[in-house]
Amino acid sequence: MINLTAVYVLWLREMKRYFRAKSRILGSLAIPFFFLAFLGLGFNRMAVPGVAGSLNYIRYLVPGIVGMSLLFQSVFAGLSVLWDREFGFLKEIMVAPVSRVSIVLGRIAGGMTTALVQGLLVLAVSFLVGFRIASVPGILLALLFMVLVSTSFIGLGLIFASRIKDMQGYSIIMNFVVFPLFFLSGALYPLGNLPSWLRVLSYFDPLTYGVDGLRGALINISARGLALNLLIMGAISALMVFLGAWSFERSESS
């Protein structure tokens, strides 16, 4: 059922495309960098409301910005199906004698790798503006959360890519899905500051648990504790991957 060569070759294609578009990598680092530089430096002296002790805002912000980069990168990795459809390459993939599951897994593997690279690059950039991690093993834990966050949102991207068939749907998704997910996740401030009805909404945002988990892993501050975050994030990731694969399969085999 799962054809590992097909998964590998789809992943390989994604890698080649990613590393060949050097300007795009640079471009995708711009937004996280500006967020870190301007928000981080601007608010750095202020106390983070709802967090005990003295904590630089930059330290609080970095895990959130890593989460944001993963969100953007992953949703669009899922949506890259639209790109392939637009440029015809999707047909080449679809007539190949490999199971549709392998195709989805290849896409997820490719998207996940680029999202991880992106997350690590953002982390590297944040070191330039003075960020320090709490402990080295924390990085490994953070990587685990990165994997879960990126697979969740690649799944989400695949779901959207199966519904919308043209590139115009792109900006709508950007404005009405990706940005609310980002702002509701607690990437920029502790969710305890939100009015309660908004806070309830934030519990339905997968990124909430991803960001909280990353914060726990990287700076040892989290609202929920690592185990719970891992559990919830793992469940969401599995569900999203399943739904993404299911909708892709359904939409492409009419």
Partner 1 sequence: MDDIKVERLTKKFDEITAVDHISFTVGSGELFGLLGPNGAGKTTTLNMLSTLLRPTSGLAEVSGFDVTRNRDEVRRSIGIVFQEPALDSQLTGRENLEFHSMMYGMGREERRKKIAEVLALVELTEKAGVQVQNYSGGMKRRLEIARGLIHRPRVLFLDEPTLGLDAQTRRHIWDYIRKLNREQGVTIILTTHYMEEADYLCGRVAIMDHGGFAAIDTPEKLKELLGGDVVSLEVDGDLGALEAEFRSLDWVKKAKLHEETFSLTMERGDRRIPELVSVAQRAGVTVNSVNLRRPSLEDVFLHFTGKTIRESEASQAERNRAMMMAHRQRRGR
Binding interface with partner 1 (CB under 8 A): 3, 5-6, 8-9, 12-13, 16-17, 20-21, 87-99, 163-165, 251, 253-254
* Dihedral class, residue 53 (left if φ above 0, else alpha if ψ from -120 to 50, else beta): left
E strand intervals along the chain: none
DSSP character at residue 35: I
Shortest gap between Cβ of 108 and partner 1 (angstroms)?
Answer: 17
Residue that has been written with the tokens 């895990």 in this structure: 63
Nearer to partner 1, 96 or 226 (CB): 96
The Cα 54–Cα 179 span in angstroms is 29
Judged by beta carbon, residue 82 or residue 221, the one nearer partner 1 is 82
Helix axes 137-163, 226-252, angle to 10 degrees: 30
Between 13 and 199, CB nearer to partner 1:
13
User: Cβ 103 to partner 1, closest distance in Å?
Assistant: 9
Residue 6 vs 61, nearer CB to partner 1:
6
Cα angle, residue 75 at apex, residues 2 and 25 outer, rounded to 5°: 100
Least separation in angstroms between CB 248 and partner 1: 13
Shortest distance, position 102 Cβ to partner 1, whole Å: 9
Min separation Cβ 184 and partner 1, Å: 27
Among residues 44 and 251, whose Cβ is nearest to partner 1?
Answer: 251
Name the residue nearer to partner 1 (CB basis): 212 or 252: 252
What is the rounded CA–CA span in Å between residue 30 and residue 169?
A: 24
User: In angstroms, what is the minimal distance from the CB of 10 to partner 1?
Assistant: 8
> What does residue 124 show for φ and ψ, rounded to 5 degrees?
-65, -45
For the chain, give percent helix, strand, coil, nearest 5: 80, 0, 20
The helix or strand, by DSSP H or E, that contains position 200, with its residue range, turns out to be helix 196-202
